[in-house]
Amino acid sequence: MRGSAASEPAPARLRWAVELLGHRPQDRVLEAGCGTGVAAGLVCATLTTGHLLAVDRSATAVARALARNEAYVESGVLTVRRAALAGLDVEPRSFDRAFAVNVNVFWTSPAADECAALARALRPGGRLCVLYDAGPTAAERVVAGTWAALEAAGFDGLEAVHDSAGAGVTGRAPARR
């Protein structure tokens, strides 16, 4: 199945993010800050019995993500919702994986509410990837701030990741909450 508007190639940072996510065809995945839905389409193309919930606080972004991925929405593989991550209301521990690309709140603030929402949404040990298309100079700031926010929220196994496509932090949701 293909999304309805996915004709241009995905940027390297989004391909890298989806690769790092390491999701399986049956996984329930959460994307925070889905933008126009390019990464959502990449994830949905590999899901069979899994599902992706893509959220963004921008009504414009949500409309574009829905239009781009209309076929995935119609098939039930994708749900796109307008929501701020800090107030996200989902079934606790219902996602296997979560990711965010270029969502600045993680490195520009303590992001306590956003990290808590992700920790609640992910099953214990669920994988999280918070990534940026930052160049080498900005990568240190981005990784340090993101690491601090995730560590304060209790995420385990944190790892700084760097690639020509960007930089960020991966980790696992806390086993106990």
Report the CATH number at residue 34.
3.40.50.150
Task: Give the predicted TM-score (pTM) of the model.
Answer: 0.93
Residue 177 in domain: no
In a domain, residue 135? The reply is yes
42 lies in which domain range?
12-170
> Tell me: the pLDDT tens digits for 40-81?
999 999 999 999 999 999 999 999 999 999 999 999 999 999
Sheet containing 51-56, strands listed edge to edge, beginning at the edge strand earlier in sequence: 78-82, 51-56, 28-32, 95-101, 122-132, 166-172, 156-163
Task: Taking residues 104-126, report their average pLDDT.
Answer: 95
Task: Look over the chain and give the mean of its residue pLDDT values, rounded to a whole number.
Answer: 93
Domain count, the chain: 1
Which burial class, exposed, middle or buried, applies to 9 when counting CB atoms under 10 A from its CB (0-12, 13-18, 19+)?
A: exposed
DSSP string, 121-173: HEEEEEEEEEEE---HHHHHHHHHHHHHHHHHTT-EEEEEEEETTEEEEEEE-
Structure-block tokens of residue 117: 């929402």
23 assigned to some structural domain: yes
**Per-residue model confidence (pLDDT) at position 177:** 53
Q: Is 90 exposed, middle or buried, given 0-12, 13-18 or 19+ CB atoms closer than 10 A? A: middle
d(CA 9, CA 6): 8
* Structure confidence at residue 176 (pLDDT): 66
Within a domain: 43: yes
Distance separating alpha carbons of residues 57 and 70, to the nearest angstrom: 19
pLDDT tens by residue, 83-99:
999 999 999 999 999 99
For residue 94, tell me if it sits in a domain: yes
Coil, helix or strand for 112? Answer: helix
In the chain, % of residues over pLDDT 70:
93
> Does pLDDT of 143 surpass 80?
yes
Question: Is residue 101 within 8 Å of 165, Cβ to Cβ?
Answer: no
